[in-house]
Amino acid sequence: MIIASLLLLASFKSDLVEVVDGDLPIVITAPHGGVLPIPGADERKDTTLPQFVTVLDTRTDDLARETAKQVEKEFGKKPFVIIAKFARKYADANRPAKYGAESEAARLVHAKYHEAVRKAVDGVKSKFGKGILLDIHGQGADKETVFRGTQNLKTVTGVSDESLFGPKSFLGMIESQGIKVFPTMKDAHEKENSKFDGGYTVQMYGLGHQDGILAIQLEFGGTYRTVKAIPETAKKLAAALKSQL
Ligand SMILES: [Zn+2]
């Protein structure tokens, strides 16, 4: 009986976190696009916890999947992908567990998500020495803008301006394909929007740490993640990654 319930729990956990093992130095994460409940977990309700937000980043799971598909098309190889299928109102994967999970069931799923991201980043590090992590989000503050979040460049520590913002850089390439990035390449050292300046994922797995890789949070405005726009946005992201690697 105990074994049966453990197996059941294990299967719930794996169903709630979508993981693709890659063979490129690219990791794509999407913590806020899921809609599924976590069995055994209530909706989060402790509004006194720091950064308490439960809102869904609509279709960012689809944008992450489509980006992975376009990357595979461009490179002939797969990126690593970790997507939360569980809803943010049950667990927030872009917060430390102590803020993002309020029950044991939620903590297990949160841990599952982060074990997968850690494994992907470690895999990229050991095989390629370096790599890039894109943490995909959505925001409702400005439809036309993608807010860059790097903790004001902390999660991209040690990378040259040319590699980060030059015409051949990932960010430079998405901007030149018509995606409005803030801060712009021209004023790349301008302060990031404090609401979207890079959460737990880029902080944990970015170049702020020895074992990190170049990590950028991208907060997409609605224009870039309509059902119709997603393939085009994904294609641009893949093309920009191609130029970078
Ligand atoms: Zn988000």
How far apart CA 203 and CA 179 sit, in angstroms, is: 24
Distance (Å) from CA 137 to ligand 1 centroid? 4
Residue 14's pLDDT band (cuts 50, 70, 90): low
Domain count within the chain: 1
Sequence-separated (6 or more) residues with CB below 8 Å from residue 71:
24, 26, 28, 78, 79, 237, 238, 241
Q: How far is the CA of 181 from the centre of ligand 1 (A)?
A: 16
Residue 215 CA to ligand 1 center (angstroms) comes to 15
Residue pLDDT, tens place only, 70-127: 999 999 999 999 999 999 999 999 999 999 999 999 999 999 999 999 999 999 999 9
Radius of gyration (C-alpha) of the chain in whole angstroms: 17
Q: What CATH code is carried by the domain that includes residue 90? A: 3.40.630.40
211 CA → ligand 1 middle, Å: 24
Q: Using one digit for the tens of pLDDT, what is the confidence trace for 191-243? A: 999 999 999 999 999 999 999 999 999 999 999 999 999 999 999 999 999 98
User: Does residue 4 fall inside a structural domain?
Assistant: no
- Containing domain of residue 22, as a range? 12-244
Is 79 part of a structural domain of the chain? yes
Give 12 Cα–ligand 1 centroid separation in angstroms: 23
Q: Is the residue at 1 inside a domain?
A: no
Q: Distances from the Cα of 218 to the Cαs of 37, 133, 135, 194, in angstroms?
A: 25, 10, 6, 13
User: Does residue 118 fall inside a structural domain?
Assistant: yes
Q: Tell whether 63 is covered by a domain.
A: yes
Q: How far is the CA of 5 from the centre of ligand 1 (A)?
A: 32
